[in-house]
A and B are shown apart, each in its own frame.
Chain A
Amino acid sequence: MKMTPKRRLSLVAVVASGALILAGCGGSDSGSDAGAGSSDGGTAGGTINILTLEEQILHLDPQRNYTGVDLAFMTGFMQRTLTAYKFAEGAEGVTIVPDMATDLGTPNEDATSWAFTIRDGVTFEDGTVVGCADVKYGVSRTFAQDIITDGPTYAISLLDIPKAEDGSSVYKGPYVTEGNDIAAFDQAITCSEDNKTITFNLGRPAGDFNYTVTLTAFSPVPAAADTGEGYDNAPVSTGPYKISEYTKGQKMVLVRNENWNRESDDYRPAYPDQIVVQFALDPSAIDQRLIADAGEDQTGVTFAGLTPESLATVFAAEDPRFTERSVDGFDPYVRYYTINSAKVPNKLHRQAIVVALNRAELLTIAGGDFAGTIGDGMIKPNLATDYAESGMWTDLFGAAVPDTGDAELAKKLIADSGEPMPAITFDYPQTPTNDKGAASVQASLAAAGIKVTLNPIEAGQYYGVVLDPEQQNELNSAGWGPDWQNASTVIPELFGANGGFNLSQVDDAEFEARVQTALGTVDRTAQADQWKELNKFAMEQAWAVPTRFGKVQYLWGSKVGNAFLWDAYGSLPFGDLYVMQ
């Protein structure tokens, strides 16, 4: 999951459902019964006000939408997906339910093919029925990498479409007619004769592909309405709301989509009559407005968490004004340092770095308990099915490692390696906080006899630099959140041979074989067990050292119902919210 500098929050997606009673056609009425996906019953009507410092929703285009909170917002209100996360607190909130599809999909025996049947009554906002061809067209847009930028590229990496010599797909998307292998795409995604069932043919086993399709990158787009770049400003809704007004830097208003058929959507309860997003607000003013809880702010929620300056006010004294309308919990991200195994090939050297770090100091610098907890792997506890303690701070390195680091154990590991410890250069995105963290890294490793040179990089350029192996150094700062609620988007991405974020430069055939086995496992419990083992193995190999399981804090207005921290996206469950009457 992409984490932009401005938005470190998590998101949400949506869902819930209101299996309403409304018979017949367009469910533009306001319902009041929560459906299968919803966390709790609510009441219909009113306006939910979303306050944000952002100038705009980064991307409304479903194929370009990749930022957690934007996914949560769009899937909750406007963009239906084949499957979606249940609106629920805790582990239940990272389980999936059918949305646009009739069920959670049907894989073939080795999970290289997945079929989904689209429900009756799913329509675009103009009333046109959504069919397989529309989903297929939507997915095709991801391949137009020169126009559909910023979005997830799982369609390119997963679908069984050959690669050209330069490594790009031979299919170039729907906008190119010459030199474009359209047939390859047509074979990779097929539609049934009745245009109801879509089958994805994959290039490798993917036991969790039904989680993959929670991404809006696998959502339908009507070809006739596709304006390429311009679709980002005016996407066609398939959900219970549609855009009635959108002025970037100012306001967006969503109103009920009269062509949304409630009978086809038992996931979204669609309680409010209207959703208003107020953009470009001062972050401290947002906090103050929610703290004051007056007028329209009583139905206010935010995309981002509270600013550090407001945390003491909201959480310090168990203030009854806030206890029922605030939450402090995990965001989706693990903050960590990667150790480049190509440049630090000796495992004991990497372990020495891991055990020498003063993790407690790093957490304090990041903001203390509100910033997170010390991590023990690359899988977070809120990825509930796949998480297990790795034991890296208790016995994985032969001894317990205190939070302040163990310089003596590091020295012993270096001595045991029989080789001199290489000099370390630490790449990190430069911010005042990161500068302090880097100084801590330098000091704690120096205590173990490891010389560290700091390499601050302009924050906006950071990943562009370190993702280039020619420029990447031995130690790198990073952050990662799963693209969907399965460690298949963590372990393979961070340490796999084809991982998109393999900053550790892992090249381990045995590990890769185990990863591929896990990826192809359809049984979710069996797959989770494999991720737990692989996570532990990666930590033992010291390919990375988690510094923090990030946290986020939210406050909302006193008249907002169904607000909680939704682990699916680490945000509020926008699509499930209602206004208390």
Chain B
Amino acid sequence: MTAYVTRRLLTGVLILVLLSMVVFLVFNALPADPAALTCGKSCNPQVIAANRIRLGLDQPLYLQYWEFVRAIFVGRTYGSGSATFECSAPCLGYSFRKGEEVTPLILKALPVTLWLSMGAFILWLVPGVLLGIYASRRRGRWQEKVTLGAALVGYSFPSFFIGLLFLFFIVIRWQLLPYPNYVSPFEDPVQFLQTMILPWLTLALVFMAFYVRLTRNQLLETYSEDYIRTARAKGLSEGTVIRKHALRAGLTPIVTAAGLDLAGLLGGAIIIESIFSLPGVGKLAISAVVDADLAVITATVLLAGTFIVIANIVVDLLYAVIDPRVRLT
């Protein structure tokens, strides 16, 4: 087990290194020139050249990459003359567009995305799985049809549509909630909940539908297995059969999907954060892309990649916990 985890972690680090290299290469191949984007009205070839030096883009790509990696471990000095300043380790770079070090930018945005993702995750997973169980137990009846139909409706609408509907009707037109204005739950729990409830619901509606159908399908498939028939023949209650036998076996694909969905959200729920003005990683990433802000783009891509890598490892570990037949080697 320890060897397995160590091996997976090392592989994950290698993936992240490769990912960072790809980001640098792709960014360099883009037609957008960050030096031109930040040079203002007096933009001429001389100013662009000076900006390129200021942004460090005059260096060969491998040197730029080396400086980036080095700064993570030992920090970096920016500026010139008496106006230099230190970006202390772990330095993920400096955003000249935003005028801030990238590491604090990420650290400020991450809690927002964590709260958004975890809240939505609970809201979609628990009802989604329960409704999936319910639908599987009502197979062929109107309850199953209603449940699946409702799930299909939720699944059919894109998140930006549901989010905008919530925003325009619940916040702007009916004014049942104030306009989203994120604060930490430790600072003002009421305002936090007022801000987060609609983003949570929006994500939950979209994702929950998938889990209703997935759970229902997995359970129906499991119900036909011999060991379920045996369990019932032994006189076990239906609840016990579902909880201890059917659900456990059917959980594996649900855990896989949930892990990756959660990791994707943690990497940045771009649309939802934009609609509800949540200053999370997704919003940070999209503004960085618009501004061709390499330092922030690299950091957000690495963050998203880290979550995916970790989620994959955790999912694999959970397999062994859920299903004794799985052995980690």
Contacts and interface: CB of A to CB of B under 8 A. Distances in A.
Interface of A: 1-3, 55-56, 66, 144-147, 149-153, 167, 173-177, 226-230, 232-233, 247-251, 278-282, 285, 288-289, 292, 294-295, 297, 458, 460-461, 463-464, 467-468, 500-501
Given A249-B284, A460-B292, A229 B172 contact: no
B114 interface: no
Query: How many of chain B's residues touch chain A, expressed as a range?
Result: 35 or more
A474 B279 CA distance: 44
B40 A289 contact: no
Contacts of A66: 40-41
6 contacts: A66-B40, A229-B79, A295-B175, A460-B36, A464-B45, A467-B45
Contacts of B32: 458, 460-461
Tell which of B41, B54, B96 has the most Cβ of chain A within 10 Å: B41
A149 B54 contact: yes
Given A461-B36, A464-B39, A500-B42, A292 B172 contact: yes
Given A145-B47, A292-B173, A460-B37, 20 more contacts: A56-B98, A144-B81, A147-B79, A149-B38, A149-B39, A150-B38, A153-B42, A175-B81, A177-B81, A227-B85, A228-B83, A233-B99, A247-B108, A251-B181, A280-B277, A280-B283, A285-B179, A288-B168, A292-B175, A458-B31
Contact of B172 (A249, A285, A468): A285
A226 to B, nearest CB: 8
Given A282-B274, A288-B172, A467-B44, A250 B79 contact: no
A2 B83 contact: no
B282 to A, nearest CB: 11
A294 B287 CA distance: 29
B100 interface: yes
Contacts of B50: 145-146
Nearest to A2: B41
Contact of A149 (B44, B51, B85, B275): B51
Given A278-B181, A282-B274, A282-B277, A229 B42 contact: no
B33 interface: yes
B85 A228 contact: yes
Nearest to A468: B45
The 8 nearest A-B residue pairs measured at CB:
A228-B83, A464-B36, A175-B81, A175-B83, A150-B40, A2-B41, A249-B279, A176-B81
B287 A468 contact: no
B272 to A, nearest CB: 12
Interface string B61-90: 000000000000000001111111100000
A250 B182 contact: yes
Interface of B: 31-33, 36-48, 50-51, 53-54, 78-85, 96, 98-100, 108-109, 167-168, 172-173, 175, 178-179, 181-182, 274-275, 277, 279, 283-284, 287, 292
A18 to B, nearest CB: 30
Given A56-B98, A229-B78, A249 B283 contact: yes
A214 B108 CA distance: 36
Contact of A229 (B46, B99, B167, B173): B99
Contacts of A285: 167-168, 172, 179
Contacts of B51: 149
Contacts of B44: 464, 467-468
A contacts with B: majority SS: loop
Contact of A147 (B80, B179, B275): B80
Contact of B79 (A2, A228, A279): A228
Contacts, number: 138
A214 to B, nearest CB: 17
A138 to B, nearest CB: 14
A153 B40 CA distance: 11
A164 to B, nearest CB: 12
A230 B100 CA distance: 8
A249 B82 contact: no
B43 A230 contact: no
Contacts of A280: 274, 277, 279, 283, 287
A297 B36 CA distance: 37
B175 to A, nearest CB: 6
A227 B178 CA distance: 38
A248 B105 CA distance: 9
Contacts of B98: 55-56, 248
Contacts of A249: 109, 279, 283-284, 287
A238 B43 CA distance: 30
Contacts of B292: 460
Contacts of A227: 83, 85
Nearest to A465: B36
Tell which of A150, A458, A501 has the most Cβ of chain B within 10 Å: A150
Contacts of B100: 233, 248
B82 A175 contact: yes
B81 A281 contact: no
B75 to A, nearest CB: 16
Contacts of A233: 99-100
A458 B54 CA distance: 23
A66 B181 CA distance: 29
Contacts of B277: 250, 278-282
A177 B43 contact: no
A70 to B, nearest CB: 12
A146 B54 contact: yes
A151 B80 CA distance: 18
A233 B95 CA distance: 12
B326 to A, nearest CB: 43
Nearest to A480: B41
Contacts of A463: 36, 41, 43
Nearest to A251: B181
Nearest to B32: A460
Contacts of A460: 32-33, 36-37, 292
B181 A229 contact: no
B181 A464 contact: no
A295 B275 CA distance: 20
Contacts of B109: 249
Contacts of B78: 229
B41 A500 contact: yes
Nearest to B53: A146
A142 to B, nearest CB: 11
Contacts of B54: 146-147, 149
A151 B99 contact: no
A156 B131 CA distance: 70
Contacts of A173: 81
B48 A464 contact: yes
A533 to B, nearest CB: 26
A247 B279 contact: yes
A458 B36 CA distance: 11
A232 B97 CA distance: 11
A57 B32 CA distance: 23
B62 to A, nearest CB: 24
A228 B37 CA distance: 21
Tell which of A56, A145, A149, A281 has the most Cβ of chain B within 10 Å: A149
A453 B22 CA distance: 36
Contacts of A461: 31-33, 36-37
Tell which of B50, B82, B284 has the most Cβ of chain A within 10 Å: B82
Nearest to B54: A146
A481 to B, nearest CB: 10
Contacts of A177: 81-82
Contacts of A228: 79, 82-85
Contacts of B36: 460-461, 463-464
A285 B42 CA distance: 34
A280 B51 CA distance: 27
B52 to A, nearest CB: 11
A551 to B, nearest CB: 21
Nearest to B167: A285
Nearest to A471: B45
A230 B101 CA distance: 10
Contacts of B172: 285, 288-289, 292
Nearest to A226: B83
